[in-house]
Amino acid sequence: MAGICDGRVAVVTGAGRGLGRAHALEFARQGALVVVNDLGVELDGRDGDAGGGPARAVVEEIVARGGAAVADHHDIATWDGAAALVRTALDAFGKLDVLVNNAGFLRDRMLINLSEQDWDDVIRVHLKGHFLMLRHAGAHWRDQYKLGNLNDARVVNTSSGAGLLGSIGQGNYAAAKAGIAALTIQAAAELGRYGVTVNAIAPAARTRMTEAAFSEMMARPEDGDAFDAMAPENVSPLVAWLGSDRSRAVTGRLFEVEGGKVGVADGWQHGPTVDKGARWDAAELDAVVADLLRRAPAPGPVYGG
């Protein structure tokens, strides 16, 4: 296999199914050597590793197509697990060029029904998992830089429209994904000196997480020849491009991708301002705030609102 990622080593977390699997297969199609990370358990906790697990199945599919890949089953939301995943890539292929943070799951509830455990579990896997992988991969690239080895490395994080606009019944998920968007900007600023770019995607696609929550939106077209806009494979070409050397000049950005659509999300930035040059009286702010909101762009609608 040869393509725009030829010879690069890519780690994809949560790559046993859905978007992660699609990303792993696309990286392999583009010539990358792939580390397919997946815990190997079903979302309900049942062991999914009886036949080598979903990660092993993806590896076998890549190898059958002429590519190179290894499976990894570490928990990326633990300090040791994230470090071990980086080590898997280095032991198997001698280097690490691309990190795709994709692993995640849902525990959807309205805020007033959300348990502490539901909150902690989602924040742990999504936000903490992104941080830990950035931490350990970033430390490796920093060490390489200090040794005089030039990095041309990429990180692709996974945020969501829920993190950009909010999503009814997904307060924990929305907060985690918003945190990932901010973490992407932070990491891009800090890791750039070591030859690392950091970007994020906000994908819309059919996965086990979205099929149940948004069944009508995620349904396959009845016409078998029609374009399946929600197929996860539609997202992966952008992820592979962001992981290639062609994206070297792009960092700290968040791309929305759905079907055949690719866009750049415009995040928080300074807006209209009024400066009195002195302390405001609280009663004065009626007119001031009304004028600021009149001049500011309206926020996008919350999903499900």
List, by residue number, the catalytic residues: 160, 173, 177
Number of alpha carbons in the 13 Å side-chain half-sphere of residue 66: 6
CA–CA separation, 172 vs 123, rounded Å?
7
Q: How many CB atoms lie within 10 A of CB 75?
A: 19
Q: For the chain, how far is it from start to end, CA to CA, in angstroms? A: 45
Please choose, from the candidates 240, 119, 96, 98, the residue with its C-alpha nearest in 3D space to the C-alpha of residue 170.
119
Three-class SS state of 37: strand
CA–CA separation, 43 vs 213, rounded Å?
15
CA–CA separation, 10 vs 241, rounded Å?
12
Please choose, from the candidates 116, 101, 103, 230, the residue with its C-alpha nearest in 3D space to the C-alpha of residue 171.
116
CA–CA separation, 297 vs 272, rounded Å?
10
257 is written with which tokens? 């991708």
274 is written with which tokens? 């009024």
What is the helix (H) or strand (E) element at residue 6, kind and residue range? none
- Strand-strand pairing, 261-264 and 254-258: antiparallel
